[in-house]
Structures are given as structure tokens and as C-alpha cells.
């Protein structure tokens, strides 16, 4: 991705640098040619280039661009399982996905890791974003997902004679697991997304306490993926599925819902980041009745919400790492609501705003394997920076409102916010 030429000086705001350090009041951030040249107190800042553009933070907050660590660019307005896969052709889904990435950038997300995509759209979307054709977060692509036959993602009954080729590679046994990863290697993905366990969404045969892949399958996937320098993650709710994933060598754990002591120990030993994605569960419980969600599903989401919140608290308390991402793209949890995850972690799970910002910035960049490049506001890093007109230590929910962004900077370019010349995307169009 291109970086900007020239200098920018951001001042008159507090700096939250993303490392978890206490905010620096009255800070200055200097940007030169798309990178951070200084970040710290105004007193002691080197003089800015006289030609520098100035951004007034208006007494608000300067922080790193946010990282969506579980992003589905091809999901939109998903109300039923079928909507994930067979509702529209790949051409239209590609256009919608491009609208979703623009929206994410406008919402302050300068980077995102895909949690799975229809066809191979996110791989090509990443190329288009990197080339500057389409605005969006710096992406890590996952392409299609892997699940065992008969598991959570294998919902089409056989009489329909429709496979799941668009979204999921269905496997039986380690050999088919290897074959699926090899297909993804050729597709050009960076992450292999798998389904070790079921979910509350499928209460009859694949609920949140069931397994959808065997350890042997997961191990084969990891061996093959790591050999080709891909990383592996998985949808893990059931306790045994989390253990299997950690023992098989997964690089991150999605959800990590029902953790016992052994899970926690394994997770900490390996320093494996976990991405809980809890706002989705909360929205499912809250809005389930009005959209006709069966009671068994709502009950399952409630159990998942409580289990997931407890696991997240224990991980952070024990010194583990959490990423913020939220499975947005469902009818009741739409794209554009990304930062609700952050507010939720403060109001419900009990994290401090500084902790949650660290999870959503520094840890997010580390999950992407790009912690040296961005994720904090520190000298030498890419200038992926947000300027928000609020004190985020007191009002984290300001991040939910795009009108509060003075600037969304990516590689030194002001891509969105009030100082950007482009207009906002109508979020309702891409829901
Ligand atoms: Zn997901």
C-alpha cells in the first residue's frame, strides 16, 4: 500500500499509544512520508516542518488505527445460514465486499484479518486495497473455510445437490484436510480458517458443545499449513475443541468460549491470542426474539455469552492476549457496528478502555504478524492513526460514531473522518 509524501502535525489531544501505557496529555504526533516521526509530549517535540499540514485534535484522543481481528468482508445481512453462501452470485458478493471494506475504514479500522470469505474474494480484495483501487483496511486474507462433513458449516441437505464450495471445503479425514489446505495455498490465502466445534446457531446436531473436526484432521491441517507458511485459526467453543486446537498448534483461537484450567494453561504456555467476538452473542440474545430466532438458539447464545466473557476475563487477568473482532455482517449485527465490540468489553466484560484499545490495536497487529509495522503510535511505525473528538478513557463508545472521527489516517493519508474530502458510505446499503 502506498504511503503519503509530506509532513503532518497532530496536536491538542491526549495520546493513547496502543501499548497499554497511560495516556500522554497534550501530545504531539509528527508524521513524515507516511510514518510516525515523533509521538509524545508537546514539550520536547522536535519542530514540525513549516510546510506540515496541521490536525487539531480538539482536546480529544490520538490513537492507533483499529484492527478488526475477525472480519468477514463477504457477509452482509445474513439472517439465515443460506444467506452465507447461495443467495447471490460471486460478482455481486465481490461488490458488496468492497463496500464493506470502505465502510470498515470509515469506521476507523485501518487493518483487518479475515475470518473467512466466500470464494476467494478477500484475497483479491486485499490486492485491490493494496493497489489503491478500493479503500479498505490492510487485509489478511483467509479465503474459504474448512469444516468436517456433517459439521456446523455443512448445512445443505444432500437432496439439494448443492455443495458448500463457495464458502467451505468439507473434509473427511486428515488426507482431505491436507488436500483442502493445498487448495488454499494455491488460492493465495495467509490464514486457514477451520471449524473444530459447533455453535449455538445449530442446536440439533452441531451445538456449541459438539466437535466438527477430529484432532487428526486439525493436526494435518496445521502441519500442511505451517509447511507452506500459512497460519491456522478455528471456531472453537467446546472445551475439547479448544484443547485440540492448542495441542495441534493453532496460531490463534476464535471465540475460545468454554475454557477449563488445562485450556488456559495451554493457551498461556503458547501465548496464543484469542478473539472472543462477544458483541455478536449479546446482539443475538437481545434481538433474537424480534427476528424469530428459536428459543433453543437464544439460550445457547446466552450460555456462550457468559462462558465467553468469563474466559476472556481469565485470559487477560492471567496475562494472555485478546484480539477484538466481531463476526459483523449478520442482520442483527451489521457491518459498521464494529466498535460496539470495544464498548461491550468495557461495559459488560469489565476491561478498562486502555486495555480494550490495546487489544484492538497492538494485539490486533500482532495477530496479523505485523506488530512491527503498525498497531501502536510509536516512532518508525506506519502512520495508521485515528483522531477522535472524545476522551476515550471516559467515553469509549465515541468510537462507534463515525461523525466523531476528525481523521482516519492510513499510511499518512487522511482516508476518512471530518477532514477527509470523501463522503460517508451509507451503512444501510451494505447491511
Ligand atoms: Zn466468524
> Residue 411 sits in a domain of what CATH number?
2.30.40.10
Instruction: Specify the pLDDT at position 428.
Output: 67
Distance 351 CA to ligand 1 centre (A): 22
* CATH code where residue 119 lies: 3.20.20.140
88 CB burial (10 A radius; 0-12, 13-18, 19+): middle
Place of cell 466438527: 212
pLDDT tens digit string along 205-248?
999 999 999 999 999 999 999 999 999 999 999 999 999 999 99
* Residue 270 CA neighbour count, 13 Å, CB half: 19
Give me the torsion for CA of 209, 73, 245, 307, rounded to 10°. Answer: -40
Distance 41 CA to ligand 1 centre (A): 40
Give me the torsion for CA of 11, 13, 17, 21, rounded to 10°. Answer: 130
Distance 198 CA to ligand 1 centre (A): 12
pLDDT tens digit string along 402-415?
999 999 999 999 99
Q: Determine the Cα–Cα distance for residues 338 and 6; give it in Å rounded to an integer.
A: 31
Distance 3 CA to ligand 1 centre (A): 31
Angle between helices 295-317 and 261-270 (to 10 degrees): 50
Mean of the pLDDT values across residues 143-171? 90
**Residue at 352 is within a domain:** no
| Beta bridge mates, 16 | none
Distance 185 CA to ligand 1 centre (A): 20
Distance 117 CA to ligand 1 centre (A): 9
Residue 304 sits in the same domain as residue 418:
no
Give the rounded percent of residues in the chain with a pLDDT score beyond 70: 98
**Residue at 362 is within a domain:** no
Residue 46 sits in the same domain as residue 70:
no
Expressed in angstroms, the distance from the first to the final Cα of the chain is 27
Distance 328 CA to ligand 1 centre (A): 8
Residue 252 sits in the same domain as residue 319:
yes
Residue 115 sits in the same domain as residue 210:
yes
Distance 235 CA to ligand 1 centre (A): 7
Distance 347 CA to ligand 1 centre (A): 23
Residue 91 sits in the same domain as residue 43:
no
Distance 330 CA to ligand 1 centre (A): 10
Report the range of poorest mean pLDDT among 49-53, 187-191, 194-198. 49-53
Tell which residue, 325, 350, 347, 356, has the closest CA to residue 338: 325
Residue 261 sits in the same domain as residue 176:
yes
71/160: higher pLDDT: 71
pLDDT tens digit string along 14-67?
999 999 999 999 999 999 999 999 999 999 999 988 999 999 999 999 999 999
Distance 365 CA to ligand 1 centre (A): 18
| Beta bridge mates, 145 | 168, 193
Distance 71 CA to ligand 1 centre (A): 7
Residue 183 sits in the same domain as residue 311:
yes
**Residue at 361 is within a domain:** no
Q: Count how many domains the chain has.
A: 2
Tell which residue, 166, 92, 104, has the closest CA to residue 139: 104
Distance 72 CA to ligand 1 centre (A): 7
Instruction: Specify the pLDDT at position 424.
Output: 55
pLDDT at 278 over 70: yes
Residue 99 sits in the same domain as residue 57:
no
Mean of the pLDDT values across residues 170-182? 98
Instruction: Specify the pLDDT at position 430.
Output: 59
pLDDT at 298 over 90: yes
Distance 327 CA to ligand 1 centre (A): 5
Distance 26 CA to ligand 1 centre (A): 39
Residue 50 sits in the same domain as residue 82:
no
**Residue at 125 is within a domain:** yes
Mean of the pLDDT values across residues 256-283? 97
Residue 395: give the domain boundaries: 7-64+375-422
Distance 195 CA to ligand 1 centre (A): 10
Average of per-residue pLDDT values in the chain: 95
Tell which residue, 87, 208, 213, has the closest CA to residue 156: 87
**Residue at 204 is within a domain:** yes
Q: Where are the alpha helices (DSSP H) in 233-294?
A: 239-248, 261-270, 279-287
Instruction: Specify the pLDDT at position 423.
Output: 53
Mean of the pLDDT values across residues 139-166? 90
Tell which residue, 89, 12, 19, 97, has the closest CA to residue 371: 19
Report the range of poorest mean pLDDT among 78-82, 279-283, 408-412, 424-428. 424-428
pLDDT tens digit string along 92-119?
999 999 999 999 999 999 999 999 999 9
**Residue at 427 is within a domain:** no
Amino acid at each position: 500500500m502506498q504511503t503519503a509524501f509530506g509532513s503532518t502535525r497532530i496536536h491538542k489531544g491526549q495520546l493513547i499509544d496502543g501499548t497499554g501505557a497511560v495516556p500522554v496529555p497534550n501530545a504531539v504526533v509528527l508524521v513524515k512520508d507516511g510514518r510516525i516521526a515523533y509521538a509524545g509530549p508537546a514539550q520536547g517535540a522536535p519542530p514540525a516542518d513549516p510546510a506540515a499540514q496541521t490536525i487539531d485534535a480538539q482536546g480529544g484522543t490520538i490513537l492507533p488505527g483499529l484492527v478488526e481481528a475477525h472480519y468477514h468482508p463477504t457477509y452482509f445481512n445474513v439472517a439465515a445460514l443460506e444467506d452465507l453462501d447461495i443467495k447471490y452470485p460471486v460478482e455481486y458478493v465481490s461488490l458488496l465486499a468492497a463496500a464493506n471494506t470502505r465502510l470498515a475504514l470509515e469506521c476507523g479500522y485501518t487493518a483487518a484479518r479475515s475470518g473467512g470469505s466466500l470464494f476467494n474474494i478477500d484475497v483479491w480484495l486485499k490486492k485491490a486495497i493494496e493497489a489503491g483501487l478500493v479503500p479498505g483496511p490492510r487485509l489478511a486474507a483467509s479465503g474459504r473455510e474448512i469444516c468436517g462433513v456433517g459439521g456446523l458449516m455443512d448445512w445443505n441437505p444432500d437432496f439439494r445437490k448443492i455443495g458448500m464450495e463457495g464458502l467451505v471445503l468439507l473434509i473427511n479425514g486428515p488426507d482431505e484436510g491436507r488436500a483442502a489446505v493445498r487448495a488454499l495455498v494455491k488460492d493465495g490465502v495467509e490464514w486457514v480458517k477451520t471449524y473444530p466445534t459447533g455453535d449455538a446457531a445449530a442446536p440439533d446436531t452441531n451445538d456449541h458443545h459438539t466437535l466438527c473436526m477430529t484432532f487428526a484432521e486439525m493436526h494435518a491441517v496445521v502441519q500442511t499449513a505451517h509447511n507452506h507458511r500459512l497460519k491456522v485459526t478455528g471456531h472453537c467453543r467446546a472445551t475439547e475443541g479448544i484443547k485440540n486446537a492448542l495441542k495441534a498448534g493453532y496460531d490463534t483461537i476464535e471465540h475460545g468460549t468454554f475454557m477449563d484450567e488445562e485450556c488456559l494453561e495451554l493457551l498461556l504456555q503458547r501465548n496464543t491470542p484469542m478473539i472472543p467476538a462477544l458483541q455478536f452473542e449479546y446482539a443475538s440474545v437481545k434481538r433474537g426474539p424480534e427476528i424469530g430466532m428459536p428459543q433453543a438458539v437464544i439460550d445457547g447464545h446466552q450460555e456462550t455469552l457468559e462462558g465467553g466473557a468469563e474466559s476472556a476475563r481469565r485470559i487477560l487477568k492471567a496475562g494472555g492476549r485478546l484480539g477484538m473482532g466481531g463476526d459483523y455482517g449478520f442482520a442483527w449485527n451489521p457491518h459498521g457496528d464494529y466498535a460496539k465490540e470495544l464498548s461491550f468489553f468495557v461495559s459488560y466484560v469489565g476491561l478498562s478502555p486502555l486495555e480494550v484499545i490495546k487489544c484492538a490495536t497492538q494485539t490486533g497487529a500482532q495477530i496479523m504478524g505485523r506488530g512491527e509495522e503498525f498497531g501502536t503510535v510509536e516512532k518508525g511505525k506506519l502512520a495508521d492513526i485515528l483522531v477522535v473528538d472524545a476522551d476515550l478513557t471516559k467515553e469509549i463508545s465515541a468510537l462507534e460514531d463515525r461523525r466523531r472521527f476528525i481523521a482516519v489516517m492510513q499510511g499518512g493519508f487522511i482516508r476518512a473522518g471530518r477532514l477527509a474530502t470523501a463522503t460517508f458510505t451509507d451503512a444501510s446499503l451494505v447491511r
